Amino acid sequence: MKKWIAAWLAVLVPLSATPAVWADTLPGGENESALVMVEKNGDVAITQDNFPDDTFRQMVKDEFDTNGDNVLSQGERDAVTALDVQEGPVASLKGVEVFPHLQVLNAQLCRLTELDLSQNTELEAAFVSNNRLVSLTLPKDNHTLKVLDVMGNRLTTLDVSGLKALTFLHVNDNFLTELDLSGCALTDGQGFIANFNTLTQITLPDNGTKYPLGDYLWEQNTPKGYTVQWYEDAGHSRPLSESDTVVCEGQTLYAAYEPVSYKVAFSSGSQKATGLAENLTLSYDQAGNLPEGPNPVDSDWQFVGWQIGSTVYAAGSSVKNLTDVDGKTVTATAVWQVKDFSGQSYQVVLHNGTESQVLTAYFGKAFTPNGSAFTKDHATLSGWSLTENGAIAVKNGGSVSYSRPGLLPKSDDGALHLYATWQVNRYTVTFQSVKTTQVVYGNRVTLPAAPEKQGYVFEGWADENGRLWQSTDTVTGPVALSPVYRTAVYDIVFDGNGASGGRVEGLRDVAYDENVVLPDNGFRKPYAEFVGWSLTENGAVVGSDTVQGAGLQAQEGKTVTLYAVWEDAGFGSEKPQVQATASTGGVKVQWTALPGAEGYRVYRDSGKGFVLLTTVKTLSYTDTGAGNGQAVRYAIEAVRGTAVSQKGVSGTVTRLSTPSVSVKAGTGSVTVSWGSVKGAKSYNVYRKAAGGSWQRIATTTSVKYTDKKAKKGTTYSYTVRAVSGSSQSAYKASGSVKAR
């Protein structure tokens, strides 16, 4: 249909959309049917009387009142050939009749309830689908209207008999019961679409067109539970098929609304049954009676009724309209309930091997089997099974209850047979201080390891009578077992632990709880005294004469080693003899060795007490840390292990720097000068002739000396050593100078 609309609008005049505010009520009231007032000169005033709908009136003013005088002149009216109010809030098109040359009307998706187009005799296409039309008046004996779309309205009648030129008609979704198309051409495409009405007859056009019924006519708005069937005759004797295609020759087709036919099938549901009823065939609105129920195979059950959907009906109930689907099968399922067997008795047979006992029980009541009449050696009744050697179904002391015979386990005599089930007794086996376990009668028990006991050897587990339990013994009752131990035996050997000689004979087969008398020490170690024996090389003394065996923490068959513990004898009053000599490079400290010393500690005293400098293994040490000009003395301690000798102390020395010497020759003499040296008390001056040796020529406290004994013409070198007590500095020769 959209193609039809687009084509017609394109051929004629372009239409503009007219936005407007939706009107809640239809304006104009009863004046709707009043005639439009046309002046003698052909003018029509744009008023509420002539155009009651506000939206339509405004559109007419905006689109067609070209001079804006609120009046449509004859010329303005004659110029209107197309009108488009689609999707506008238009409830009335009263006034449309003043447009005598209107050719295309597009009023789809509005709110029209009635429409009179009888005066628009030049109309060629009218699109008024999806409104609320209950009345539509068309031009009589019209030869211009070719397309009419009234789909989706509320029309119960439609007279198109005068539309000779009509080539396409769309009347889907209305309430038409009859339609006469015999006077219409309807040659465009299939010509017309008339589905979803309530048609009972339709007269086809006489145009020779092949018309597929299933696509454009067959479906109608049928009542619930009914289907539509089309016929070629009013007597409904020549049915048509939905797939048929008919040739349009002006004939009339007739529709009949017939009830659907369906079947009711019967199911036995959850129970097997005999005598199930045959299917019941019904039509919609036809009542039928449900049959009697079937006979259950299981006599514990009885029939209650038929369930269809969620409703249960008694046998013989009248039912109808179970479905509105043609050809569907509705299932009626038998509903069952268990019969009441409360208070009725049944037999219970208790079995224990070849023994048996018959008792009476009642349906709906709990029954507790009593096995007190049965016994079994070294076993306890644990419950009852439904078969010999089967799994326990009822625990001892428990109960069983059945509500009906069909739930009883199958048996030849219909009785409930229960078989005693026994559990072999378990006995407590206690291992003192270790664990307690349960062991099945006649089984062996795994013997655990006993707790370790220092100094003792585990012998085994003994019962109350003192008999050692064997791994092959079996449990026949409660057993209490205690661990059995004997005293451990071990050997002792002695280690000199650094001794230089000697030996001590070891001890054999010493008992753990024995008080051991230790032998005298036979080892020797220089500079050390024996004080006792230890379990480790550097451990504490555990004894010197005797020791308790338990204190040695010995194990069976092992050997304990006792180590001699020595105490250093020390150095007595001996101490190193120390000499310190200062030089420019430092202070060299030397000392005499003490027998057995493993090293020597070197101390320096700079006036504030001795401070440890280092520990060495040599007999000398050069201290480069003493300051120039500083008076120092040194002390030495000999060390051996923890033994320390008395300090040997040197005399005080001063470390002196090397003087810087310069010389100058004068007449009959050479003047030697040098820088002052910190800590120096005096200076020794030395001279050496070329090729000769150094000779001290003077000692002075000054920093300058004049050599008046230098021989004229002889080349000399000079040097100076700073002196402080026994300390002398190093020296450095001056440059050569020739006396004159």
Would 584 be classed as within a structural domain?
Answer: yes
With residue 289 as reference, give the H or E element that holds it.
strand 288-289
> Which pLDDT score, from 0 to 100, does residue 120 have?
96
Cα 649 from Cα 637, distance rounded (Å): 9
Assess whether 691 and 725 both reside in one domain: yes
CB 82 within 8 A of CB 104: yes
Cα 287 from Cα 341, distance rounded (Å): 38
Assess whether 420 and 430 both reside in one domain: no
Over residues 355-364, the mean pLDDT reads 92
In 610-731, beta strands by DSSP E: 610-616, 620-623, 631-640, 643-644, 648-649, 653-654, 661-666, 669-674, 682-689, 695-700, 704-707, 715-724, 727-728
pLDDT digit string, tens, across residues 694-714: 999 999 999 999 999 888 888
Assess whether 182 and 247 both reside in one domain: yes
With residue 88 as reference, give the H or E element that holds it.
none
Would 147 be classed as within a structural domain?
Answer: no
Of 521, 544, 568, the residue at which a domain comes to its end is 568
Cα 437 from Cα 251, distance rounded (Å): 106
Residue 640: name the closest of 720, 589, 572 by CA.
572
Give me the residue label for tokens 């009822």: 394
Would 411 be classed as within a structural domain?
Answer: yes
Residue 13 vs residue 739, higher pLDDT = 739
Residue 239: HSE in the Cβ half-sphere, 13 Å Cα cutoff: 8
* Burial bucket for residue 511 (CB in 10 Å: 0-12, 13-18, 19+): middle
Would 639 be classed as within a structural domain?
Answer: yes
Q: Inform me whether the pLDDT recorded for 7 exceeds 60.
A: no
Assess whether 378 and 436 both reside in one domain: no
Assess whether 189 and 237 both reside in one domain: yes
Which residues lie across from 516 on neighbouring strands?
A: 547
Residue 92 one-letter amino acid: S
Sign of CA dihedral 645, 649, 650, 656: positive
Classified as helix, coil or strand, 399 is coil
Would 497 be classed as within a structural domain?
Answer: yes
Q: Inform me whether the pLDDT recorded for 517 exceeds 80.
A: yes
| Cβ atoms < 10 Å from Cβ of 335 | 16
Phi (first) and psi of residue 234, to 5 degrees: -70, -25
Would 162 be classed as within a structural domain?
Answer: no
> Which pLDDT score, from 0 to 100, does residue 9 have?
47
CB 334 within 8 A of CB 293: yes
Give every strand in the sheet of 586-591, ordered side by side. Answer: 578-583, 586-591, 620-623
Cα 674 from Cα 701, distance rounded (Å): 12
What mean pLDDT is reported for the chain? 89
Cα 270 from Cα 294, distance rounded (Å): 12
Q: Inform me whether the pLDDT recorded for 11 exceeds 50.
A: no
Assess whether 498 and 563 both reside in one domain: yes
Assess whether 602 and 647 both reside in one domain: yes
Residue 134 one-letter amino acid: V
DSSP string across 105-171: EE-TTS--SEEE-TT-TT--EEE--SS--SEEE--SSBSS--EEE--SS--S----TTBTT--EEE-
What is the reported pTM?
Answer: 0.48
With residue 675 as reference, give the H or E element that holds it.
none
Assess whether 285 and 249 both reside in one domain: no
> Which pLDDT score, from 0 to 100, does residue 31 have?
37
Confidence of residue 37 (pLDDT cuts 50, 70, 90): low
Domain that holds residue 677: 661-738
C-alpha triplet 117, 122, 126: angle, nearest 5°: 50
Assess whether 331 and 351 both reside in one domain: no
Strands 661-666 and 669-674: antiparallel
> Which pLDDT score, from 0 to 100, does residue 35 have?
58
Q: Residues 6 or more apart from 691 whose CB is under 8 A from it?
A: none
Cα 332 from Cα 179, distance rounded (Å): 44
Cα 607 from Cα 620, distance rounded (Å): 22
Of 316, 338, 360, the residue at which a domain comes to its end is 338
pLDDT digit string, tens, across residues 80-138: 999 999 999 999 999 999 999 999 999 999 999 999 999 999 999 999 999 999 999 99
> Which pLDDT score, from 0 to 100, does residue 44 have?
96
Q: Residues 6 or more apart from 720 whose CB is under 8 A from it?
A: 659, 661, 672, 674, 683, 684, 685, 686, 731
Would 119 be classed as within a structural domain?
Answer: no
pLDDT digit string, tens, across residues 232-283: 999 999 999 999 999 999 999 999 999 999 999 999 999 999 999 999 999 9
- The share of the chain scoring above pLDDT 70, in percent, equals 94
Please give the biggest Cα pair distance in the chain: 180
We report the CATH number of the domain holding residue 298 as 2.60.40
- Structure tokens given for 187: 């040659």
CB 592 within 8 A of CB 600: no
> Which pLDDT score, from 0 to 100, does residue 549 have?
72
Confidence of residue 476 (pLDDT cuts 50, 70, 90): confident
Residue 49 vs residue 540, higher pLDDT = 49
Over residues 563-574, the mean pLDDT reads 86
> What Cα–Cα distance (Å) separates residue 179 from each residue in 76, 174, 232?
38, 12, 15
CB 12 within 8 A of CB 77: no
Q: Residues 6 or more apart from 43 whose CB is under 8 A from it?
A: 71, 72, 73, 74
Confidence of residue 4 (pLDDT cuts 50, 70, 90): very low
pLDDT digit string, tens, across residues 434-450: 899 989 988 999 988 88
Residue 41 vs residue 198, higher pLDDT = 198
With residue 89 as reference, give the H or E element that holds it.
none
Confidence of residue 731 (pLDDT cuts 50, 70, 90): confident
pLDDT digit string, tens, across residues 217-232: 999 999 999 999 999 9
> Which pLDDT score, from 0 to 100, does residue 547 have?
84
Would 536 be classed as within a structural domain?
Answer: yes
Assess whether 636 and 689 both reside in one domain: no
The count of domains in the chain is 7
> Which pLDDT score, from 0 to 100, does residue 18 have?
30
> Which pLDDT score, from 0 to 100, does residue 1 have?
43
We report the CATH number of the domain holding residue 436 as 2.60.40.4270
Q: How far does Cα 728 stand from its chain's mean position?
A: 88
Q: Residues 6 or more apart from 569 whose CB is under 8 A from it?
A: 527, 528, 529, 643
Cα 590 from Cα 579, distance rounded (Å): 5
CB 491 within 8 A of CB 506: yes
We report the CATH number of the domain holding residue 707 as 2.60.40.10
CB 53 within 8 A of CB 94: yes
> What Cα–Cα distance (Å) separates residue 681 from each residue in 706, 709, 725?
19, 25, 7
For the chain, report the end-to-end CA distance as a whole number of angstroms.
148
Over residues 167-186, the mean pLDDT reads 97
CB 659 within 8 A of CB 731: yes
Assess whether 374 and 322 both reside in one domain: no
C-alpha triplet 346, 352, 355: angle, nearest 5°: 85
Assess whether 413 and 445 both reside in one domain: no
Cα 351 from Cα 415, distance rounded (Å): 13
Q: Inform me whether the pLDDT recorded for 466 exceeds 50.
A: yes
> Which pLDDT score, from 0 to 100, does residue 208 have?
94
Of 305, 338, 371, the residue at which a domain comes to its end is 338
What DSSP character marks residue 535? S
Q: Inform me whether the pLDDT recorded for 27 exceeds 50.
A: no
